Structure 1
């Protein structure tokens, strides 16, 4: 039995069970007004999903919606089965429901991209990650509609990057800084201004009173970050924060790496480079607080603990 046949048979069995139940309760009204259903289908079509795909997603027979949408003998149907109406009126397509090449509203894709721009993620980096040229990506963001495939890729990338600025290994400091300045000049808002449930809704407005992590001119970014202020650390400030956490806290390399969105190995290598540079300058940097260990110290660690 094919998948489509199984879906149709299951839908028919549900209909029969409901029909018997409603007849027994004296509430059997098999048909309802078709116009609200027709308007709903048109709205879903406008969102980018064809009637054929909608029929498949709802598990309805292939011709279930035809008489609702198209006239027969010059007259559009005035009634539709209640079960069909309930299925249509209770459904709105999610991003993953659209076929890959369906053209859908670009609002969510544009908002997610602009939010990442405010953090310093460049258009070149984002376009590379979603697998299109930078020029094509730029053109897509300027259009009212994008393919569902691109929208899904951008949404996935947004879920990965929304809560952290780029490292220099991903986007160099200068392009990242330029992108943040450009985003600010264009009035883009960051991820904290959007709710996941409404970011795709064209009528939704950003919550601009949300505290956004931004790079501010002047001041000690490392100190401000350590005090809990929402700032984006540049390369030097990140190094200062990492040194402070290793030197003055008992946090493990894994805990420090988690706070800075680094791998434990990268955090540990950076700490060793800081110590080597200090030694070359005639200074010593070491962990100044007691760190409990479940193993014997090696010679270098004994020196640090002395």
Structure 2
């Protein structure tokens, strides 16, 4: 229990935040780290036993960005890539800023930061999840101009659209760009066989399409072609394909 709390602390989730997320008292969590703080002969003594229900709540707190305090600084890379992807879809920086409750004039400096607050990261993730698969309204003349300028702005800076990344938070470098030569069949086949191959976005779509055709789940496809499960899900939705539950398929096969 103490080791779990200490590991959370190393990640940036302090004992007060752990108590808040677990819904338990701060004093009890603190005593698991530094021992009892009340004066007396048992001062500094670390409790040897914790109530089962309380222990389960604390152990349920995991080291994730979602659990960090809003002001805790984290790398801005994932947030920047999401903003860039939305701009590539036609969402202007000013419209993105407006939806985030930020000042549009600050977006340029925001995109240059190396660290941002976890709360800001979560807000951008939420907005990205809402908008990644849709372009902004651009039927009216003004909106059409803003849309075209945003797409061109992203193109000039080689900002990648949604679905281009294997894992938008963790990838060290961009995936292979779509080329003029079409799909490399060998690359797709190697990926389907489980080889770690750098696929273009179009090749990744083809791999998902083929593995889905044999009724594989998103998770199984993602594990095979070495990308994020959410990315597979988005590609599948983009292709208009239904989701498969691998557990259900196994049960049907065993029946």
TM-score by length of 2: 0.51
Q: Does 1:62 align with 2:53?
A: no
Rounded Cα–Cα distance in structure 1 between residues aligned with 2:19 and 2:162: 35
Rounded Cα–Cα distance in structure 2 between residues aligned with 1:136 and 1:176: 20
TM-score by length of 1: 0.44
Partner of residue 84, structure 2? 114
Q: Does 1:156 align with 2:126?
A: yes
Alpha carbons 1:100, 1:149 under 8 Å: kept: yes
Alpha carbons 1:125, 1:171 under 8 Å: kept: no
- Aligned match of 2:201 in 194, 210, 213? 210
Secondary structure of 2:98 counterpart = helix
- Aligned match of 1:139 in 109, 117, 123? 109
Partner of residue 177, structure 1? 148
Rounded Cα–Cα distance in structure 2 between residues aligned with 1:185 and 1:129: 24
- CA-to-aligned-CA distance 1:70-97 (integer Å, 9 cap, x gap): 4789x89697859577655543266655
Where structure 1 has 5 or more consecutive residues not aligned to the other structure, the ranges are 1-31, 213-306
Matches within 5 A, 1:181-196: 181-194=152-165
Alpha carbons 1:68, 1:80 under 8 Å: kept: no
Distance 1:41 1:149, change over 3 A: closer
Where structure 2 has 5 or more consecutive residues not aligned to the other structure, the ranges are 38-43, 177-199, 204-255
- CA-to-aligned-CA distance 1:192-241 (integer Å, 9 cap, x gap): 1246xx53x445665552239xxxxxxxxxxxxxxxxxxxxxxxxxxxxx
Partner of residue 137, structure 2? 167
Alpha carbons 1:40, 1:89 under 8 Å: kept: no
- CA-to-aligned-CA distance 1:226-285 (integer Å, 9 cap, x gap): xxxxxxxxxxxxxxxxxxxxxxxxxxxxxxxxxxxxxxxxxxxxxxxxxxxxxxxxxxxx
Task: Tell me by how many angstroms 1:113 deviates.
Answer: 0.3
Between 1 and 2, higher relative CO (CA 8 Å, sep ≥ 6) is seen in 2
Aligned residues: 173
Partner of residue 52, structure 1? 16
